[in-house]
Chain A
Amino acid sequence: MKLRLKEIHLQNWKCYQNEKIKFALNTEGNIWIVFGKNGGGKTSFLEAITWCLYGSSVISRKNLLQYFNRTARKQNPELELSVFLKFIKNNDCYSITRTAKRVVRGSSESVEIQEASFYKNGQRKQNSREKIESILPRFCKEFFFFNGAKIEHYAQITHTEETREAIERILGIPELINLRDDAERALKLIEERLHQASLANKDLKKITDEIKEVQQKIELKREQIEKAKQELYKQSEILSSVKQEGNQIEELQGKFKEIERLKLEQINSESALKKAEQEVKKYLEQAPITLMLDYVREMVDDLQVKNIIATRKTVSIKLLQQLLENDTCVCGRCIDKDARQYIIEQLEESNISQNRTKQEIDRDNLRSNLTRLSKYETPDYDEILDEQDCISEKLDEIERAITRLKKETKGISQQKAKEIWRKVGQEENKYKQKQQDIERLQNDIDRLKHQENDLRRNREKLAVNDEETAMLNKQVKLAEGLYKAADELIDWHIEQCQRTIEEHTSKIHHQITNKPEEYKRIKINDNYTLRVKNSVGDLLIPTTLSTGEKEILAFAFIAGLNLASETAAPLVMDTPVGNLDTIHQKNIINYLPEFPSQVILLATDRELPKDILDKLKPDIAQIHKIQREEEKDRSIIMEIEK
């Protein structure tokens, strides 16, 4: 059964004077919505919860002065504010109250904060801090109280030591680590007793001393291995960051090549454009031909007729000349005087028109030229102009692409790319070196442990001779077994948890991301840092994702962690989807009914419009609304119909 918030009571807290919300837990739905306008008091509501639980560690004493209700403060300068929370888990009821008083001395003012009171099933418990930690660890607050407005922060959510501890706390790992450490201490205590008991036996003492010496060596090697592991972790971060830089530059290298290719294409296109322009110019110059073509053809026909007539005339002259020369007609008769005279006259007339014949030659040339012109084929002007436009557009496109790529690769040179890859190589070598160091230290430890085991067996043989040492030896064996079992249990549990969280987170992320085809799964590293595996198998670090994608990743991880944990708490989300695109918004809202614990959304009506509310309706337990009463300078909270 998960921890759920049942009631919250705010007195003189910021804009609230005396407001109480009771969350009806006996409903099917797991979603509670508190609507409020910007500046209405939603974030104050979230702050009240975290302050009640964790006090000055979330709101400093100085800042708390601003949290006293303004109106009530005017009436009573020494005002008291309080926040009361009631949680339910496994039929147990936990009530927590924190109170602070404003103290005015002359012109100065300060705050007196009382330690939170903690009640379990109506009974007050001592050490309220420890009790609160036991139900809602402070380190884990980021996972339960989610402020959508601070999403940048969530990009780094799994990169701090504090967060790593929080995750392990949720997963129940620290208790196993404590068990291993305590078992080791217990083993040392019992061994010391055995050492004391064996002082009388020379051989036993010698062997116990040897065991002690070996243990000290193991301890030293362990410290070294721990240090080396920390260094390896740091080195892995450096390597990952340098590789990321290298990959980015590699991507830029591709862009450099693309620029070269585009420049070549630009030269070809420019030459093609020049050719096309000349073509257009030529056709435009010849445009009158097309307009006169019909007239030219008519002229050709006319000249053709005239030519035929002229040819006939020439033939006739030749015939007349032959007649004169032969003195006989074609019919065989002699040409008489009259006929000869007539022919001579005709020939003279023809000689007169000699000039005309020259004209005819010119006309013939003209006809021949015009005939050639009349065969002119009219080009498709639309096609020619379209082709020119196409080349021109392509050229513009190439120029734009070159400008964009140049902008993207600004400041990057081939030299820098080489330097980065050389650095990657260096860092990889350092990483391998550290891995080898750890391996070598581990081998040393294994060898020493083997030596220790041999010595223990020998000691066991000697210890059985005495009742006390025999019993102490038995206890040593039990303590040692307990230590080893705890040690193995830690590794097993961490591996199990990581696998479970990875499975859940990947599944949820796939469900809510707007790129389900691109982002294949989530990888959780040993130090709980997250990586997104894409469709080509690359592991992306969260800092390379967009702001919205980071929020989605953080949400998937939080939900996955809740599913893998037995100590899940309510998820209170302020501005839950305000910074997300519509697909992410829709996906996250669709997922909320499946969220494995109570969800309280502090949202504006824009974030959860009617269509989304209607969709969520079957899973909504209650809706509350923060109403701002401006004339009274306060906010009130009321339940509204679903």
Chain B
Amino acid sequence: MEQKIQELAEKYQIPEGLLKKAIAEEKKKIVLQNRKLAPKLVKMIEKYSADT
């Protein structure tokens, strides 16, 4: 999985950290009916786009 994440991050030109963090967030919220993770992802994207 780790290797695949790295490969996909390179392929789609996104930071590996962003993909890993997003997966970790989804795992944490998996049991919630109302995850509301899209705004959180937007924030993460804003942060990563500002950093790069």
Give the B-binding residues of A (Cβ under 8 A): 130-131, 133-134, 172, 174-176, 178-179, 182-183, 185-186, 189-190, 471, 474-475, 477-482, 484-486, 488-489, 492-493
Contacts and interface: CB of A to CB of B under 8 A. Distances in A.
Identify whether the interface residues of A are mostly helix, strand, loop, or mixed.
Answer: helix
Interface of B: 1, 4-5, 8-9, 11-14, 18-19, 22-23, 26-27, 29-32, 35, 37-39, 41-42, 45-46, 48-50, 52
B41 A493 contact: no
Contacts of B35: 178, 182
6 contacts: A178-B37, A179-B22, A182-B41, A189-B39, A479-B45, A481-B13
B28 to A, nearest CB: 9
Contact of A186 (B1, B5, B30, B38): B38
B45 A492 contact: no
Contacts, number: 88
A134 B13 CA distance: 32
Of all A-B residue pairs in the complex, the 6 with the closest CB atoms, nearest first, are: A185-B38, A481-B12, A481-B14, A186-B41, A485-B8, A175-B26
Q: Please indicate which of the listed interface residues B22, B27, B32 has the most CB atoms of chain A within 10 Å of its own CB.
A: B22
Nearest to B37: A182
Contact of B42 (A178, A190, A486): A190
A478 B45 contact: yes
A485 B12 contact: yes
A489 B37 contact: no
A175 B23 contact: yes
A134 B4 CA distance: 25
A475 B23 contact: no
Given A183-B22, A482-B22, A485-B8, 17 more contacts: A175-B27, A178-B30, A178-B37, A182-B37, A186-B45, A190-B42, A475-B45, A475-B49, A478-B48, A479-B41, A482-B19, A485-B14, A488-B8, A488-B11, A489-B4, A489-B5, A492-B4
Contacts of A131: 31
A404 to B, nearest CB: 56
B14 A478 contact: yes
Contacts of B46: 475
B30 A175 contact: yes
